Structure 1
């Protein structure tokens, strides 16, 4: 090979094997590289057998050697424009056949495209799952920020007759500013039918009849009635609006409030008061 061909071979090898390889888009350059490499091999090994099927147009059209797999990658990298570095920057360990090179390099972009598409699908699915988790159940505050003002314990100040609005025998009784609260066997209106359910009733204390004069088969009542029953893990709860029908003593105790809530907790009752500043 003359000096001009040597220079062209170095230039094409730089485009094929260098860090900025770009020869794959230039079919003419690829073909010329194969011709010059064949000529170089002929100088080293002697004339190529014309009957060799790997020589000719099919070889010239094959993919260049920059598409070698990892097993046949160069043993050293140096500046391909340096005339004295040729033996260092391109020394293939073993040159595979053209079909193997084409197959190995052609499948890599396809694999990358498939992996990229799968990653997009997985990311979209994950984002959809997070969005559903954040929006499917909107949180609601159970207490509404209303403060607890008292905890009631059973009292003996008021006795509730057995059978009065379903009052159980020896029912716990709680008094709170003109209201009497007690356990009942069923809620007003048919609540508390489940196994383990507990119901509580609240009535004006002045409407509770005396135990010794109460007739379970015939008695009257004139006043507001409040009731609530538990349901599974949910406690029995009563809300009393502080309107004109509520006991006067209760309204006088909380003149600015809009309502009082009673929540049964074992043998205690928690009292929560809306002071009129909490939005519902």
Structure 2
């Protein structure tokens, strides 16, 4: 411990250093003495606080050097987190997903409305609606008392749809395609001056259809504006009560 005189000297030097109006900065020797006494005073305080308490008689003295180092705790494990995508990337991915979903939905819708039976790439050129004002020849529907429907004209052609002769009203439909300009009724029969007078009937899920090729010299070409070599297919669409015309 510092002597009493040293304590008095230290107090005096501190007053010169820290009190208002202190002049120790102008006295290098006094400043050096202050530093010396303060360092000595700090060492004494540290020694006093760090000294071990007096041993009790008969108590065993433990050697701290024999104790091993304190175990080092394991570092805390970091929880794995999925990296967060930037907002712009998230928006782009969402938009791409919506495009894919919309494209798939559009494809399904196109497939549903497509009535081309063989999916051969034919072009749908017309949908013929019912025409109540036109009556087909009676010879076409002999034995059918009801359910006869005629449809709008297309390039000189007419279509009549009626119930099957065998299955009755609830069975598959039958259809006849012809050009009235080339048909002549003779009593109970008809005379047709064209190439295509085409009756057909559906079966199960298959609708009645009629397919033709209007080649050069075909009489039916004279009653419309179709070029030679045009292929036509007439398909009855029962769900919409229309006749769909494809061109190929």
Give TM-score, length-normalised by structure 1: 0.38
Structure ID, larger Rg: 2
**Relative to total residues, which structure has the larger helix share, 1 or 2?**
1
- Select the structure that is richer in strand: 2
